[in-house]
């Protein structure tokens, strides 16, 4: 069953969340998708660390996407890279239902989803060094200064993500809000775990490709500038 983002979680109780639950209603088709298509594709937000070879029933390179929205980008990537496994995290149930319907319609077996606060899932359920790439596309910009603390990209999250990637792993961030891109660059510049790579190096990486997203289209309609930031996990003395 879906665990709700408001489930009590002692160590995270005072953490500022990067989302507010939106009132968006599930369509009947989405509700049915959660019930009927969820088992097998939708994993609980709480529980022991996942064994990903069991979850995907194979060993393969893996990509994590945080805040996939309606999941259209995740569908396009999973279709393009059938030999790669994708794990998507999203708190908005209608988006999860929508994506389950698309995965079923396209017969894509290389995607699993969790409907729960990503910060909790990453810390509690995701194994170390498991993801060749991590994507955060157009996270909520929280433009007002008093809301900046709600931004998803913060030093503790980046440190937590770094533990889930092997040395050389890719981190791909995108936003249509330039002040957030600047904030992301500052957070990553202060991280000992990642170093930036240029667009040309990223272009040579199949895992760094992304399609246009729904939220990006909205930003472009509003005349916003879109920025992609690419990083690679830095090798440490232990080789991790």
Ligand X SMILES: C[S@@+](CC[C@H](N)C(=O)[O-])C[C@H]1O[C@@H](n2cnc3c(N)ncnc32)[C@H](O)[C@@H]1O
**Residues known to be catalytic:** 140
Smallest gap from residue 55 Cβ to ligand X (A): 18
Least Cβ distance, residue 195 to ligand X (angstroms): 24
Asked if 111 and 81 count as a contact pair (C-beta separation under 8 A), the reply is: no
Q: How far apart are CA 52 and CA 95, in angstroms?
A: 23
Residue 62 or 98: which CB sits closer to ligand X? 98
> Residue 230: what are its φ and ψ, rounded to 5°?
-120, 135
Q: What are the tokens at 133?
A: 């790439």
Q: Which is nearer to ligand X, 81 or 167 (CB)?
A: 81
The alpha-carbon radius of gyration of the chain (Å, integer) is: 17
Joined together, the tokens standing for residue 165 give 């990637």
How far is the C-alpha of 27 from the C-alpha of 24, rounded, in Å?
A: 9
Query: Which residues of the shown chain bind ligand X in the complex (CB under 6 A)?
Result: 18-19, 67-69, 89-92, 95, 117-119, 137-140, 152, 213-216
Distance of alpha carbon 35 from alpha carbon 183, whole angstroms: 39
Query: Please, what's the b/e burial string for 42-53 (b: 16 or more CB within 10 A of its CB; e: otherwise)?
Result: bbebeeeebebe
In the 8-state DSSP scheme, what is residue 148? G
d(CA 114, CA 91): 8
132/173 with CB nearer ligand X? 173
Specify the residue, 95 or 169, whose C-beta has the smaller distance to ligand X: 95
């Amino acid at each position: 069953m879906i665990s709700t983002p408001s489930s009590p979680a002692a160590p995270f109780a005072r953490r500022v969340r990067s989302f507010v639950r939106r009132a968006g209603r599930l369509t009947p088709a989405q509700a049915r998708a959660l019930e009927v298509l969820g088992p097998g594709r939708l994993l609980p937000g709480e529980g022991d660390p996942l064994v990903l070879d069991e979850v995907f029933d194979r060993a393969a390179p893996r990509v994590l996407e945080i805040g996939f929205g309606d999941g259209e980008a995740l569908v396009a990537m999973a279709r393009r890279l059938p030999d790669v496994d994708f794990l998507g995290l999203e708190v908005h149930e209608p988006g999860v239902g929508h994506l389950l319907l698309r995965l079923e319609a396209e017969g894509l077996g290389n995607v699993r989803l969790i409907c729960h606060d990503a910060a909790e899932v990453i810390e509690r359920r995701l194994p170390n060094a498991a993801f060749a790439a991590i994507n955060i596309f157009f996270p909520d910009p929280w433009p007002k200064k008093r809301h900046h603390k709600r931004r998803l990209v913060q030093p503790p999250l980046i440190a937590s993500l770094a533990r889930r990637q092997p040395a050389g792993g890719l981190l791909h961030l995108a936003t249509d809000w330039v002040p957030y891109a600047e904030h992301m660059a500052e957070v990553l510049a202060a991280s000992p775990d990642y170093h930036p790579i240029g667009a040309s190096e990223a272009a040579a990486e199949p895992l760094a490709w992304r399609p246009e997203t729904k939220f990006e289209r909205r930003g472009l309609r509003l005349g916003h500038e879109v920025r992609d930031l690419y990083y690679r996990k830095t090798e440490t003395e232990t080789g991790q």
